[in-house]
Chain A
Amino acid sequence: MRKILRNGNTVVGLVLCSFLVVGALIGMWYTPYDPVAIDPAVRLQGPSMAHWLGTDHFGRDIFSRLLAGAHLSLAIGVISILFALVAGFLLGLPAGYFGGAVDMLIMRLMDILLAFPSILLALSIVALLGANLGNVMLAVGIASVPVFTRMVRAAVLSVRSLPYIESAQATGCHGSRIVGWHILPNILSPLIVLATLNIATAILIGSALSFLGLGAQPPSPEWGAILSEARNYMRLGWWLTVFPGTAIAVTVLALNLLGDGLRDVLDPQMKH
């Protein structure tokens, strides 16, 4: 813990992420104004004491919309990566532990998925399933599965051949016990680092899909969707594009700093 707190990147990333999480939690229950209520009387007003970040083309308070949408944008990242983590674990673990035909089959499937650029794969899945936030989370999750599968497999392979695993097997330890007690604790660190960095990427891809009109639909306050709506009115107010984009950039920056810092502390080898 002390090592983590001594790393500048990690501390900055942690502080920023904490603010974001607290903001997202607050936004789920309270916002200064109704984030979806239309008020033509105050449309397209710049930042002021009444509306800190201004109002949009429907008179909606931008700060309230960003606060309300924070949990949606964070959820895209967290849920999709949780899905990828679980799927990657369920596929990578048998591939690395059993090897042979199981390994070959799973890794060839991952090769096929990796043949598609992430955003293209996510776009294709959304095209098939329909444009909504849930499908975006699923799409981004599926696009991230190969990375986690490869990481889990590589980590299991590196640990599997160690002498203490051989001893555990020789003493008659059941496979599940070996996995749970001996392998899993040793692959957690690289997985945590990878997950943190990939949440950032997932938020970028998810907000891009919403920006293209393939994710959250209006009047949802998801940040990518806010920018998509703002695009047609940006000549009427710079605040319409600057603040939502800054929110996305700061979130991704915080996660990248946290991930970089955690990598330096938990898994320096990954840097090389």
Chain B
Amino acid sequence: MLTYILKRLLALIPVLVGVSLLVFASLYLTPGDPLSAVLGEAVVSKEQADQLRAQYGFDDPFYVQYARFAGRALQGDLGRSLRYNQPVLTQIQSQLPATLKLTLAAMAFAIVFGVSLGVLAAIYHNTWIDFLAMLLALGGISIPTFWSGLILLLVFSLELGWLPATGTDGWQRLLMPAFALGYGAAAIIARLTRSSMLEVLRQSYVNTARAKGLPGRTVILRHTLKNALIPVITMIGLQFGNLLAGAVVVETVFSRQGMGRLLVDAILSKDFPTVQGTVLFVAVIYVLINLLVDLSYALVDPRIRYQ
């Protein structure tokens, strides 16, 4: 097990190097001078441009610039925001808690709703309950997150006045964004839970448990659910990363503070250092989450441990 963990950690290094290289190199993929991407819409004289080019090191060879960028990033220096003139990491640190709160709330909703729906659909397979559950799941993967957010705002804030429309603080302001963000993930989890449960229910040991006269609830909870949830746990882990990225849209819909708003505002205001730093930060988190999911799979499934 320890060897497996070490191998996965070592395999992570080239991916992280590649991610940082791609984020850094993106400056050079833009049409025109890299300095124009950094300056945004600021107008400077030729002398100032030459000075800034030397200051940012754009005159140095590519590999020297990358080494400088990577070295700074490893020390937590992700550059300086052009718009707010403060370290990008400071901005991320101030916005991250709100995004994490939203993502965790969405994940909690997705797990409870998705697993329950999937289990019900499997137990009542080929009945109207199964049909309704899968219809709800199909809706979840088809309805755009931003639209479900807008509809929730329309109904619960503007028409009924039950919940506040915008803002970040308080659990009431978390309900609608968490539902909008988590519904899609819940749908994916429901579909996977259903198919996984159906597969396990077909196993001969489940028939044996039923033949022994065990109550239905015991068969489901003790003999079926635990095994059926193994692939679902992996999917839940992967969905966490997607929820983190999906928060971009939801935070904009509900005017919530967070990493998503930070990134979108940076893109619209052409604050390239903030875009670069935020993308790198989220990508590294996503890679680490995927690694944890891989490792947890070996922990959760005893068959893989024994292999």
Residues of A within 8 A of B (CB): 108-109, 111-113, 115-120, 123-124, 126-129, 131, 200, 204, 207-208, 211-214, 224, 227, 230-231, 234-235, 238, 241-242, 245, 248-249, 252-253, 256-257, 271
Contact = CB atoms under 8 A, between A and B. Distances in A.
Nearest to A244: B147
A120 B154 contact: no
B91 interface: no
Given A208-B144, A252-B142, A256-B141, A112 B248 contact: no
Main secondary structure of the interface of A (DSSP, over half): helix
B286 A115 contact: yes
Interface stretch (B22-30, B52-60, B93-101, B211-219): B22-30
B175 interface: no
Contacts of B145: 208
Given A128-B29, A241-B154, A207 B244 contact: no
Contact of B18 (A115, A123, A131, A249): A115
21 contacts: A108-B18, A111-B18, A112-B15, A115-B283, A117-B241, A120-B283, A123-B248, A123-B267, A123-B279, A126-B267, A127-B272, A129-B31, A211-B144, A212-B252, A214-B268, A227-B150, A231-B150, A235-B158, A238-B154, A245-B147, A252-B142
Contact of B249 (A109, A200, A212, A238): A212
B242 interface: yes
B275 interface: yes
Nearest to A112: B18
Given A111-B15, A115-B18, A126-B267, A253 B147 contact: no
Contacts of A256: 138, 141-142
B146 interface: yes
Given A241-B150, A253-B138, A257-B138, 18 more contacts: A108-B15, A112-B19, A113-B22, A115-B18, A115-B19, A117-B286, A120-B248, A120-B282, A123-B248, A123-B279, A124-B26, A211-B252, A214-B268, A224-B146, A242-B151, A248-B144, A249-B139, A249-B147
A214 B267 CA distance: 8
Contacts of B195: 271
A117 B184 CA distance: 15
B249 A211 contact: yes
Contacts of B266: 127
A123 B263 contact: yes
Interface in B19-46: 19, 21-23, 26, 29-31, 37
A128 B31 CA distance: 8
B5 interface: no
Contacts of B264: 123, 212-214
Contact of B154 (A129, A214, A234): A234
Interface string B236-250: 000001101110110
Interface string B145-166: 1110011011000110000000
B64 interface: no
A126 B7 CA distance: 35
A234 B37 contact: no
B112 interface: no
A126 B252 CA distance: 17
Contacts of A113: 22
B158 A234 contact: yes
B37 A128 contact: yes
B61 interface: no
Contacts of B150: 227, 230-231, 234, 241, 245
B143 interface: yes
A208 B260 CA distance: 13
